[in-house]
Amino acid sequence: MEAVKALEIGQVLRYKNLPFKLLPEEIELLTPDRIDPKVRNISFNAEGLLKGVVGDRVIQQNAKRLIQRFRELSVELIRTSFPKYVDSLKVAPTSFRPNLVETRIQSWRADDRRLHVDAFPSRPNYGERILRVFINLNPAGVSRVWRVGEPFEEIVQRFKSDISPYSPLKAKILNSLGITKSYRSEYDHMMLNLHDLMKADTSYQASSAQKQVEFLPGEVWVCFSDQTAHAAMSGQFMMEQTLHLPASAQYNPDMSPLGVLEKVMGRRLT
């Protein structure tokens, strides 16, 4: 139960020596030339549709097989490590990220080198958890380097007075215009505010409690990315599997961002 407690309070779990090895024909996928320059990541959705790969039919097939194998490993890892989650897990897209983190040019809001918690601007989730499994595939022995920040409740306490007022009317308008895929709840509004407030605050980025973590090639790591303050600082060739989980399916739902925010704010947020 130590792993369960660690995961659900926002820590990052590291797994070494899992049985995942690149096949010879997959090595050639480890180049930025394989990603369409118009997209941020190569993606493989829950229905099995592959997007963003540049190459012929064989390359497309190899990429799909590589990502599918990692999806299967990720789902099995979560099922065996956290059996209470099994009946409630929903598989979301898998991504392959062959680009070098350090040279990406992005706006401050999109820059994942800044500490943040994940939130979806267009996809309200009403407290559903964002559980992510990562692997470093770098063939040159280069680590994937993260910064990991302070506990989620401390983030909430730090920024709660800066969160803008929630407007049900604005949420209704955003939904009616198709800007959001469903009605944005107050919870989703707060999570987006926290994401932006963290990234925009340069003092927070520099001086808040944090530590650097290096993930070696072949290592797998897992966290609830809507709860764990994280920043990807450097590295290349990573895959990531997203899984969604209702907060109510956790071992301790009170530790979820929804549970923490409702406790701090003293009211229901969905």
Separation between Cα atoms, residue 125 and residue 190, nearest integer Å: 12
Residue 182 inside a domain? The answer is yes
- Find the range with the poorest average confidence among 39-43, 145-149, 248-252: 39-43
Residue among 106, 80, 98, 81 nearest 43 (CA): 98
State how many domains the chain has. Answer: 1
> What stretches of the chain adopt beta strand conformation (E)?
13-15, 42-44, 50-51, 90-97, 129-136, 144-148, 211-215, 220-224, 230-234, 238-245
Instruction: Please check whether residue 40 is in contact with residue 32, taking contact to mean a CB–CB distance below 8 angstroms.
Output: no
DSSP H/E element including 206: helix 202-207
Give 135's contacts (C-beta < 8 A, 6+ positions apart).
20, 70, 218, 219, 220, 238, 239, 240
Q: Which residues pair with 232 in a beta bridge?
A: 146
What is the chain's alpha carbon radius of gyration, rounded to the nearest angstrom? 19
What per-residue confidence (pLDDT) applies to 191?
Answer: 98
Helix, strand and coil percent figures for the chain, each rounded to 5: 40, 20, 40
CATH number of the domain at 52, please: 2.60.120
Reported as a pLDDT band with limits 50, 70 and 90, residue 258 is very high
CB 59 within 8 A of CB 67: no
DSSP letter at 228? S
Sorted by sequence, the CB contacts under 8 Å of residue 78 that are 6+ apart come out as 85, 89, 131, 133, 222, 243
Q: Looking at the domain assignment, is residue 270 inside a domain?
A: no
pLDDT at res. 105: 83
pLDDT of residue 77: 97
Domain-embedded: residue 229: yes
Is 36 part of any domain?
yes
- Residue 256 included in any domain: yes
Q: Does pLDDT of 1 surpass 90?
A: no
Q: What is the pLDDT of residues 9-38, one digit of tens each?
A: 999 999 998 989 999 999 999 999 999 999
Number of other residues whose CB lies within 10 A of the CB of residue 259? 19
Predicted local confidence at residue 106, as pLDDT: 87
Q: What is the pLDDT of residues 65-84, one digit of tens each?
A: 999 999 999 999 999 999 99
Whether the predicted pLDDT of 104 surpasses 90: no
Confidence of residue 168 (pLDDT cuts 50, 70, 90): very high
Name the band, by pLDDT with cuts 50, 70 and 90, for residue 100. Answer: very high
pLDDT digits 0-9 by tens, 84-94: 999 999 999 99
- What integer is the mean pLDDT of 99-127? 94
Rounded to the nearest integer, the mean pLDDT of the chain is 96
pLDDT tens-digit series, residues 175-211: 999 999 999 999 999 999 999 999 999 999 999 999 9
pTM, full prediction: 0.95
Task: Name, in order, each residue with C-beta under 8 angstroms of 248's C-beta and a sequence gap of 6 or more.
Answer: none
Contact in structure between 183 and 124 (CB atoms under 8 Å):
yes
Residue range(s) defining the domain that contains residue 120: 2-265
